[in-house]
Structure 1
Amino acid sequence: MFKNKLFIKFFSSGLQAIAVQVLGSVFFYFISVYLSKESFGTISWMNAVSFFLLTILGFGLEQVVVRRIAASKTSDWAAAAFFIHTIVGFIITFLLLVVLSNIFKNQSAIYHYLPWFFAAQGLIYIGIPLKQFLNAKELFTPYGIISVVSNTGKIIAVCCLQQLEQLDTATVVVVLICSAVFELCCLLVYLVAKTNFSFKLHFKAYLKLIKESSAQYLSVIFDMSLSRMDWILLGIMTTNVVLADYSFAYRAYELARLPMLIIAPILLPRLSRLLASGKKLGNIQQFYINSFSTVEQFFAVLIPLMLNILWVPLISMITKGKYGDSNAVQFLILSLCIPLQFFINLLWTLSFGGKKYKQVTSITIICAATNIVLNLLLIHQFKGLGAAAAFFITTVLQGGLYYRLVNKQVMNIALKPIVIFMLSAIVIYVSATNIPVNFLLQLLIAVALYVGFAFASKQMTRQHLLNFKHFLSR
């Protein structure tokens, strides 16, 4: 029974992640190949700016709403409040961008497209409260199916436009808007027909929700800057071609974190319930969480080890030489952050579930400020490589600060597994890539050495795997 329940949760959560990340990445792969680097860089910049604006509008409500609904059956109203909040914020910002685009209509064409690109992203943003309502109830499949259909439609549309020689920035924006409208309408229909979701706004309760989220509002804004400020600054300080190379590598990095995105929606409600009392976790709970972390890190380190061996030959082949060699070092640096991001996600979830909002905010502000300063210094000198280096340094800092917070105030979490797995993977990567054989054989040798070392050194055991499954099945 536990096995079936766990499989269903992973499948339904995975369906969402695959739809959003994998199919979304396939869509952006096609436009990166079919469009010029200049046009792809422009789209990447508009995506970063829109994401930044929507983060400001969100007011930090997204995570608070999920935690409230997951922890209490009487907090469903929070999703409705967030939904109304998103609609009002979207309309005001969209109208403002339209006015600004008319003022700067004689300037770069990017000002003409930005309001409409924001509209596409904003319509998806309006659907977030509805999606989060379902996720908090651990009903992942409905949005997963909707997103699969939507993203598949985008890919088909881009391919058809390319065949008709009509693919450009304007038609990409139209495709994105149509897809966003489809997703929002389907979510609304499903919630009305299949759930007890109420759209009634409890204004006093909404104000309390705003007050609760305000504690981490700055955290959310600065957290966004960690993932997109480098894109914005690259677009301003360098060229769209430089941004195209970096954003391609960064999207590959984001796709590589897919397992984390699958497990995160399962992890947050579970740890929120465990930490709802406000007390420290017990020894047994800490034991299972540490086993979970060990298994997670084992696979998290394996991902960049495999991808870096494949990067140049595979990406060069599928993009006909457009990308691959030009951004291999950028991807290598970014991929080193993958295991750290898995670890940080667990640490953040423990901190957030334990309501350490002020500490989370402080850590995020420190890291974001550091990231911006590093980007300003390093992009000027090293361009895309500088942005990647700034992101890596900031990720290490963020991991260290969260580790200290969790160890002091939530539980004792083991640091040894991530250190050993990462060091062994670096040695194995250097060794395997210097063997004069086909890259696929290098891949097989590297994986065999990594898995063999992990089990031979007993850093990874069968008991770890059983504990991992037990923790997620409870």
Structure 2
Amino acid sequence: MKPSHLKNLSANTIQLVINQVFGLAIFYILSSWLDKQSFGQLNWVLAILFTAFNILACGIDQLVIKKIAQGDDVAIVTGLFVNHVLFSGFIFYIAIGVVWWVMPHSPIIFQVLMLVGAGKLMIYFATPFKQLASGQERFGVLAKMSAVSNVVRGVALIVLAFFQQVTLITAVFVFLAGDGLEFAVTVYLFYKYLRVPLSFSFQPKPYFALLKEALPQIGVVLFTSALARFDWIFIGLFLSAVKLAEYSFAYKAFEISTLPLLAVAPLLLPRFVSVIKERGIFPTHLFSILKLELVFSVLIGLVFYLSWSPLVDWFTHGKYGAVNSSVILVLAVCMPLMYFNNFLWSIGFAQGKLRLIFKVFAVTFLVNVIGDVVLIPLLGNAGAAIAYLAAMLVQAILYMLTIEKQAALQVGVNLVICSICAIISGFIAIHFLSGDITVILFAAVLYLVFTILFRQINLKKLNFLKPAIGQ
């Protein structure tokens, strides 16, 4: 592995570890100190804002990384994106402000929406500077830009918890302060390290050209944003804030468990763009990275499920553990599919297959929405998880058939083998052993033994990563 790649991976991993550690602290304090009603309301607001600001970016955020990585004019591309986020962000925030103002008796959730929304608006305004750092592979700078909010929120909530002052209102102001400080630090680091001369004057012709180029990606963003939080919104509207609190707790824990994917994924896109630009094709030997990702993502999913109920019930005093066991089982199965789909998406995006990606996400979105509408009323939170699994599985199949088909199908077989190994290992451990720690350790070791026996891990050839990543 080249020193620059190792440095980028290290910087991104450190940033993610910091974010995840403080994110876990935030998550634990809020879920423990807030009642389920307040926790559910806060998560519903965050789901709305997450979806809205992702859609407002119109896919330009990912396109900016690609254009910078392939050598386009950095100042022009970033300047156009800055203008886009300023205009779209202010319009959105004014719109929700008008809705709040015209309502005669606005509930507290609208006040929470306005306050948390102000902070998320600042994070949205910081997006162009972060994408610039990512496109230039300045992951050290990006790490500093991205860690501020969680650190501030985590420290503030720990202090408030110590003084027993964690309420919905104090949590909202902590979110607002953390997000505002992250924006300020991001702008400071941009002017200190990146120093790209930006033009804030609106240029209609290049802007609409950029928007046109991002058009297929706009649909992808619409579908992925809704896919990520549609189930939260639907549960909050049609079940209850309490049920949303339970589901969002499980889903957030699932997201935290995908830390390795979050560490690797941002490095893939600019690297794949560079490799394809140099060679004209995607080197199939890079799929060896995905094979190893799948082995360990299945292991993480296995350990995640087996440790869930005893560990979480102990941490939350019985609030969120056993009640979410069925949801966690389904989400654990989704974990390797996320790695698989992200890898193939990165290849397709680097190859410029935006229309294809749009179609894949359109089908994925429809599967998820139909699944949510049908299964949530029947099965509750478990129905939402099953709908998400079905969507991820359909997406994986569509990617296998359309992006680097031969190599993708071969790796798809690896995914099936690893999953079978995990099911057998977990079944044996649960039914023939006792003691939580014993079950988890035995299942993990047995799974690794199976993957070695079935040649999913070849101990003699693990050095393939060195040439694969170091291209």
1:388 is displaced (CA, Å) by 0.6
1:429 to 401, 426, 429: 426
Query: Matched residue of 1:448: which SS?
Result: helix
Task: Kindly provide the amino acid, as one letter, of the partner of residue 227 in structure 1.
Answer: A
TM-aligned CA deviation for residue 112 of structure 1: 2.1
1: CA distance between counterparts of 2:455 and 2:55?
Answer: 46
Taking the aligned partners of 1:23 and 1:143, their CA distance within structure 2 comes to 17
Does 2:173 align with 1:174?
A: yes
Q: Is the 8 A contact 2:56 2:88 kept in 1?
A: yes
Assess if the C-alpha contact under 8 Å between 2:130 and 2:145 holds in 1.
no
Are 1:417 and 2:417 counterparts? no
Q: 1:277 to 1:3 in 2, by over 3 A?
A: closer
Distance in 1 separating the partners of 2:378 and 2:425: 31
Superposed, 1:387-398 pairs within 5 Å as: 387-398=384-395
Could you tell me how far apart the structure 1 residues matched to 2:164 and 2:456 are?
54
Question: Structure 1 residues 3 and 410, CA, compared in 2 at 3 Å: closer, same or farther?
Answer: closer
1:117 shift after superposition: 1.6
Q: What is the deviation of 1:254?
A: 0.8
Given that 1:105 and 1:111 are in contact with CA atoms closer than 8 Å, whether structure 2 keeps it comes out as: no
User: If the length of structure 2 is used for normalisation, what is the TM-score?
Assistant: 0.95
Please report how far the alpha carbon of residue 279 of structure 1 lies from its aligned counterpart in structure 2 after TM superposition: 4.2
1:177, CA displacement in angstroms?
1.2
Map of 1:228 onto structure 2: 229
Q: Secondary structure at the match of 1:216?
A: helix
Q: Name the CA distance, whole Å, in 2 between partners of 1:214 and 1:69.
A: 18
Are residues 411 and 447 of structure 1, via their aligned partners in 2, closer, same or farther at CA, if it must alter by over 3 Å? closer
**SS of alignment partner, residue 432 of structure 2:** coil
Distance 2:67 2:461 in 1: 31
CA gap of 1:99–1:77, structure 2 versus 1, over 3 A, is same
1:458 matched to 2:459? The reply is no
Letter paired with 2:259: L
Structure-2 change in CA distance of 1:149 and 1:94 (3 Å): closer
| Equivalent position of 1:211 in the other structure | 212
CA distance in 2, matches of 1:255, 1:222: 22
Distance 2:273 2:446 in 1: 38
C-alpha spacing 1:119/1:328, structure 2 compared with 1 (3 Å) = same
Q: 1:384 to 1:464 in 2, by over 3 A?
A: farther
The alpha carbon displacement at 1:360 in A equals 0.5
Higher mean alpha-carbon deviation, 388-397 vs 140-149, is at 140-149
Instruction: Output the CA distance in 1 between the equivalents of 2:216 and 2:104.
Output: 39
* 2:148–2:178 Cα contact (<8 Å) kept: no
Residue 11 of structure 1 aligns with which residue?
10
| Among candidates 332, 336, 341, match of residue 339 of structure 1 | 336
User: How far apart are the structure 2 equivalents of 1:278 and 1:466?
Assistant: 23
Partner of 2:247: 246
Q: 1:435 to 1:271 in 2, by over 3 A?
A: same
TM-score, normalised with respect to structure 1: 0.94
AA at the equivalent of 1:421: C
Instruction: Pick which of 186-195 and 10-19 moved more.
Output: 10-19
Q: What are the Cα deviations for residues 318-348 of structure 1, in whole angstroms up to 9, with x where unaligned?
A: 1111110111110111111100000000010
Using the alignment, how far apart are the partners of 1:4 and 1:275 within structure 2?
21
Count residues in correspondence: 469
Q: Is 2:440 the partner of 1:439?
A: no
Letter in 2 for 1:332: L
Matches within 5 A, 1:69-148: 69-72=68-71, 74-148=73-147
Residue 189 in 1 paired to residue 181 in 2? no
Give the residue type in structure 1 aligned to 2:334. C
Aligned to 1:351: 348
Describe the shift of the 1:377–1:197 C-alpha distance in structure 2 as closer, same or farther (beyond 3 A): same
Indicate if the aligned counterparts of 1:333 and 1:389 stay in contact, CA closer than 8 A.
Answer: yes
* Unaligned runs of at least 5 residues, structure 2: none
- Aligned-partner Cα distance in 1 for 2:266–2:51: 22
Change (3 A) 1:105 1:69: farther
Aligned to 1:323: 320
Deviation of 1:463 (Å)? 4.8
Q: Matched residue of 2:127: which SS?
A: helix
* Displacement of 1:146: 4.3
Alpha-carbon distance in 2 for matches of 1:38, 1:242? 9
Q: Any gaps of 5 or more consecutive residues in structure 1? A: none
- Deviates further, 326-335 or 156-165: 156-165
Cα 1:409/1:450, change in 2 over 3 Å? closer
Amino acid at match of 1:441: T
In structure 2, the partner of 1:313 is 310
Whole-angstrom CA distance in 1 between matches of 2:24 and 2:398: 31
Preserved contact between residue 148 and residue 181 of structure 2 (Cα < 8 Å): no
Looking at structure 1, the residues matched to 55 and 152 of structure 2 have their Cα atoms a distance apart, in angstroms, of: 29
Q: What does the per-residue CA deviation read over 1:210-236, in whole Å, with 9 as the maximum and x for residues that have no partner?
A: 111112211110111111000000000
Contact kept? 1:23, 1:148, Cα under 8 Å = no
1:267 aligns with 2:268: yes
Inter-CA distance 104–401: structure 2 relative to 1 (3 Å threshold): same
Q: Distance in 1 between matches of 2:314 and 2:184?
A: 38
Question: Cα offset for 1:409?
Answer: 9.7
Of 288, 294, 297, 1:291 maps to: 288
1:19/1:144 contact within 8 Å kept: no
Over 3 Å counting, the alpha-carbon distance change for 1:432 and 1:332 in structure 2 is: same
**What displacement does 1:446 show?**
1.2
- State the distance in 2 between where 1:270 and 1:148 align: 23
In the TM superposition, residue 105 of structure 1 has moved relative to its aligned partner by: 4.9
Structure 1 position 162, deviation (Å) = 2.8
Cα deviation, residue 450, structure 1? 1.1
Shift of 1:76: 4.2
Contact 2:303–2:440, Cα closer than 8 Å, also in 1: yes
Identify the residue that residue 379 of structure 1 maps to in structure 2.
376
Distance 2:149 2:52 in 1: 23
Q: Which moves more between the two structures, 34-43 or 190-199?
A: 190-199
For the residues of structure 1 that align with 2:56 and 2:370, how far apart are their CA atoms?
24
Look up the SS of the partner of 1:167 in the other structure.
coil
Return 414-423 or 19-28, whichever deviates more: 19-28
Q: CA deviation at 1:307?
A: 1.1
Q: Report the residue type matching 1:250 in the other structure.
A: Y
- 2:59 corresponds to which residue? 60
In 1: Cα distance, 2:7 partner to 2:384 partner:
39
